Chains A and B, each alone.
Chain A
């Protein structure tokens, strides 16, 4: 093929920009209409869908939180009955952890990682499309069960034997467990794509020490997903087996053990919260240098702290089980390891503080969220160090002190940077700026609302109010603080509502943003806003950590890729030396059909074990049709 000169396919070297862009657009564009929607493999379109769906789930979860605060505002209130309240708090936890937090961080990765490493599409783009549909169907399954009044009511952690076969009648706990299967398949698929994209599709010259911190964070997150999610899939599958075909994993009378579930769940549970936090560290480390006017201080320290946090996160799951009566020496080990993880977090905070100290911050909304993050996350981290101590934990475990702690580290530690990231990358994703004036109001309302809502919960916890109670007695001294918390949660809700209004309004009426409105230094700002379907006219060549700043604003690029088929560069893992011109698959309807077959298999297997046998056939057929080469130019080599 390559040898024959005459019919040599047009390479991008001998084309001027306008013709090149038109030709690349024709090859990489996604057609509009039904076919485009269900068959697209463009990582940007799928990431935008992921983000929109995750934020819809965030707002639905927020409404649940308001319902809980309404019921807890007065002692012995009768707004919501115990059964419905248990469903609401389970849905709030499950929805926020599995349908919002992990998917939104992965959506940011799907959108930004290919752009920041300088490639044209994510690795395995059809798998990416498949993962979105499976995630969406999982979310629909859970929320349909809530609408049908059969939502899971056993808590987002579903401790056995309450979630077990005897004490959880009906299919509620099975719906929870199967929703886990949906979201884990989607999360694992995205994690594999990110790992392969970062390892093999980096721009030539982007050696390991030139990878942006956000991409490092997403890589560490992906490895956490790969190593932690199998634990929850094994746990949720064995729970369904116990409930459906009578296996005895969690039956203490037949050799099983109730603590086996807690070990399996929290072995996944703690890395899960680091899966949510580590991308936030990457976002803060990317936003801060742009508004401080100097590069990030301690790049090596930050990246090694990221990796250390990832590794350590597997060694401290037992701090969720300090009060189940484990031998004391075991608990002490986990106190030490839980305290030790405060060190990498500390190092990260100190590097940010040093960067801030040596620079002149410009107070745009993203920076406000970063400052709010630092103030809130340090307090959350400190309460984390407190609950890592076994004796301290025996007084505050499963009380509102812990509720305050994890909202500080999750909302403060991950949602604040996420909101900052939305304000920071919204121009790149939608081509228009979000409004600064509204942004300040959003930050002010959310920051004040958050602290007024969640800080008093520390005191409620120390005053003895347990978690997950649908009501409390009038003679206990909690009524005043609970009413205060319920009222201030309205401020927080207004903040998020204003954020939604700002995001929707700016979609059409925001100030048009150029390709680099903030003057940032990473590769995604080298493309137009929003980037074209093929991202880069020619694959960039990187020679430093800040490609847009060196050789005075001129982008060094590589040429020689064909324009009549979807091609991108494969580079070596360590030094990013070019190795081959791999093709990137075109649009395909099969991922969507395979995801429907998978969803049918999963939902059917809630009701009958034979679903796994018969349901697997359509899935296999869809996967074979997906894999079978279609004779398109991408398949020849």
Chain B
């Protein structure tokens, strides 16, 4: 009895105070439909569980004499048959609700924003498609989407199977190498929604998070324009020295900063890394200190990830982190 109450109370309470990565704190069109389905099913099953456990407690607590006569037999047969029929009805009902919800999650409208999502071992690459006038650009671990407009994500995997999941907006969908899956999402309210890889993909599966930032149309367009632009020129001389260190040392071999000689493609595109919420796929907030810590020793913060430990002197480290933080 108490257990069913706990289910109901917790289901409702979690909705309020959860962080922004919960299937019950929903702000996306499909996630809202899914939450309704979850609540209906949880309550229906709680009631069934209550009935069954209630009957069990009653049947056990009756302390009556053992009865094996025909009347009891017939009563039991009728009881079991009706329970079986009830099960058929309930199961059929739940199946219908499930099919109904599936139909609700329709495919994207044709004016949807198209973004290619490339999952690779342990970070997310978002490639914004070229449409009429926007130049092609890419960013990492952060997906900006306009509020109220469909977003069509083309999911591709570079290496192993990952799973793109932002619970507040939509259900998850796997990225399978050799196949292309399409996921449709639409945010109803502006906000920052955290998502995480949901299919075990190796050493750092735990730190493969992404941020979806839903913003009003104007902000979104402004963001797109800024992302399409090449990197800002460093203002302070410390940042300038940092740029030289970046291009001279191993960093340029893996990372791209548009507008500088750094054109490596195996690591994330850092053209506007300073503007991102988090670095290391949801590992640390983007601050100068976290950038310095990450560059100084990526293997201690995220053991096994593919960024080597580049030995830098302390002032080189200060300069590079100043330069990267400036790349707004």
Residues of B within 8 A of A390 (CB): 98, 102
Residues of A within 8 A of B99 (CB): 332, 335
A443-457 interface bits toward B, Cβ cutoff 8 Å, 1 = contact, 0 = none: 000000001000100
Contact of B17 among A162, A340, A392, A477 (CB under 8 A): A477
Interface size on A, residues (CB 8 A): 87
Residues of A within 8 A of B165 (CB): 466
> Once bound together, how far apart are the Cα atoms of A360 and B68, in whole Å?
11
Residues of A within 8 A of B187 (CB): none
Q: Counting CB contacts under 8 A, is B282 at the interface?
A: yes
Closest residue of chain B to A463 (Cβ to Cβ) is B22
* CB atoms of B56 and A353 under 8 A apart: yes
> Once bound together, how far apart are the Cα atoms of A337 and B171, in whole Å?
22
* CB atoms of A339 and B80 under 8 A apart: no
> Once bound together, how far apart are the Cα atoms of A389 and B36, in whole Å?
13
> Once bound together, how far apart are the Cα atoms of A477 and B23, in whole Å?
13
Interface segment, one of A30-38, A122-130, A292-300, A566-574:
A292-300
* CB atoms of A167 and B23 under 8 A apart: no
Q: Counting CB contacts under 8 A, is A178 at the interface?
A: no
User: Given A252-B178, A323-B163, A385-B45 in contact, is the A464-B23 Cβ separation under 8 Å?
Assistant: yes
* CB atoms of A323 and B206 under 8 A apart: no
Please report whether the interface of chain A is mostly helix, strand, loop or mixed according to DSSP.
helix
Contact of A325 among B66, B95, B176, B304 (CB under 8 A): B176
Contact of B304 among A82, A252, A259, A295 (CB under 8 A): A82
* CB atoms of A473 and B209 under 8 A apart: yes
* CB atoms of B80 and A386 under 8 A apart: no
Q: Counting CB contacts under 8 A, is A432 at the interface?
A: no
User: What is the distance, in angstroms, from B211's C-beta to the closest C-beta of chain A?
Assistant: 12
Interface segment, one of A11-19, A104-112, A343-351, A613-621:
A343-351
Residues of chain B from 138 to 191 with CB closer than 8 A to chain A in the complex: 155, 159-161, 163, 165, 167, 170-174, 176-179, 181-182
A377-401 interface bits toward B, Cβ cutoff 8 Å, 1 = contact, 0 = none: 0110011011011111111111100
Q: Counting CB contacts under 8 A, is B10 at the interface?
A: yes
User: Given A347-B80, A385-B45, A464-B21 in contact, is the A342-B91 Cβ separation under 8 Å?
Assistant: yes
User: What is the distance, in angstroms, from A158's C-beta to the closest C-beta of chain B?
Assistant: 10
Residues of B within 8 A of A391 (CB): 33-34, 37, 98, 101-102, 105, 171
User: What is the distance, in angstroms, from A616's C-beta to the closest C-beta of chain B?
Assistant: 34
User: Given A83-B203, A161-B160, A346-B87 in contact, is the A392-B37 Cβ separation under 8 Å?
Assistant: yes
User: What is the distance, in angstroms, from A485's C-beta to the closest C-beta of chain B?
Assistant: 14
* CB atoms of A476 and B53 under 8 A apart: no
Closest residue of chain A to B87 (Cβ to Cβ) is A346
* CB atoms of A464 and B172 under 8 A apart: no
Which chain B residues have a beta carbon within 8 Å of chain A's beta carbons? 3, 6-7, 10-11, 14, 17-19, 21-24, 31, 33-34, 37-38, 41-42, 45, 48-49, 52-53, 55-56, 59-60, 62-68, 72-73, 76-77, 79-80, 83-84, 87-88, 91-92, 94-95, 97-99, 101-102, 105, 121, 155, 159-161, 163, 165, 167, 170-174, 176-179, 181-182, 194, 196-206, 209, 282-283, 303-304
Interchain Cβ contacts under 8 Å between A and B, 5 examples: A162-B200, A392-B34, A395-B23, A458-B7, A459-B14
